[in-house]
Amino acid sequence: MSYPELAKTIGKHEDSVRRVVLQLIDNGLLVRTSLLQYSSGGSIYSFGEAFPSLLVAQPAHKTAARTFTTHSLQDSLHPPRSSSFLSNQELLQEEVPVDNVILAAPFEELDRRSLLPFMKQMPSLGYLQDFIDKVVAVIEQKKLSPKPIADPVAFLFGCLKKMEINPPPGWKSRAVRMLEEEERRLKAEAEELRAAGSRVERQRCELYFLRLSPEQQAEITRETDAVGERDIPMIQEAKREQRYLELIRALMRHEATMSSR
């Protein structure tokens, strides 16, 4: 199938199809296994079974109309090894870690196996994850600019080839965001515990007050009401509450001291 036919089949421009196919070949994602030639000129490429979904069946009426002669078949069946070429066995070995990469919009439909050649150049899977997240952040930032990124996938692989991406200011990795989220959760939980502890302490003081004699209750009430007489109601209430708790706690400590003797 020619580039124009392939472009028409998938609904893309011929130049885009040609560029993507050449990129896949360069990255080792399409493996050339044989090279046949039309008797009237032009070449036909048949790719291996590493990615069957990328293969397109040749129309029967066109294959029957022409005859073929082999051309450099031995060389094509045994392509030279390179750092970007992966055998089927290597692909199976590397498939599991790449499957753990989280792909957000606009890369949800991206075949993770296309990231294999680049992952081998990175120190860890986390580094690849951060790299892709940075690319997503740049694409999102550019959406509001006069020149948004028209082809996110091409932009991603362009950055991967250069191994360079400059995230927007304030970008944070998933690990940092997870720690910050955990910090917020723990802070909120600590505040809830402190508030609950204060309520429990207030109830203990109130229970102790109710067990006091009427004379002791009247004395505490008198001392509490004498606080903050010139303050506004909100401040006055806060000061009286504080004084009330101080008096009750003092009595509780005194009682505990006397009972321990």
Q: What is the pLDDT of residue 85?
A: 44
Q: Which amino acid is at 45?
A: Y
Mapped onto helix, strand or coil, the DSSP state of residue 170 is coil
> Of 28-32, 47-51, 175-179, which has the strongest mean pLDDT?
175-179
Residue with tokens 């720690």: 179
Question: So what's the pLDDT on residue 253?
Answer: 92
Q: CA 149, CA 112: separation in Å to the nearest integer?
A: 21
- Share above pLDDT 90 across residues of the chain, in percent, rounded to a whole number: 38
> 100: pLDDT confidence band, cut at 50, 70 and 90?
confident
Q: Output the pTM of the full model.
A: 0.47
Torsion angle, alpha carbons of 238, 240, 245, 246, to 10: 110
Could you tell me which residue, 161 or 11, shows the higher pLDDT? 161
Determine what percent of the chain is predicted with pLDDT higher than 70. 71
Which residues have a Cβ under 8 Å from the Cβ of 160 and sit 6 or more positions away? 115, 118, 131
Examine the pLDDT at 32 and tell me if it is beyond 60: no
Pairwise CA distance, residues 31 & 51, whole Å: 9
The C-alpha angle 111, 138, 24, rounded to 5 degrees, equals: 30
- Residue 28: the pLDDT is 63
3-state helix, strand, coil in the chain (%, to 5): 60, 5, 35
pLDDT above 60 for 37? no
User: Residue holding tokens 């321990």?
Assistant: 260
The answer to whether 138 and 158 are in contact (CB under 8 A) is no
Residue 121 neighbours by CB under 8 Å, 6+ apart: 163
Q: For residues 36 and 199, give the distance between their C-alpha atoms in angstroms, rounded to a whole number.
A: 84
Closest CA to 216 of 165, 254, 242: 254
- CA torsion, points 122, 127, 128, 129, in degrees to nearest 10? 170
State mean pLDDT over 131-135. 92
For range 189-204, the mean pLDDT: 95
Buried b (16+ CB within 10 A) or exposed e, 124-146: eeeebbbbbbbbbbbbeebeeee
Q: What is the pLDDT of residues 220-261, one digit of tens each?
A: 999 999 998 888 999 999 999 999 999 999 999 999 988 887
Q: What is the pLDDT of residue 29?
A: 67
Mean pLDDT of 102-128: 87
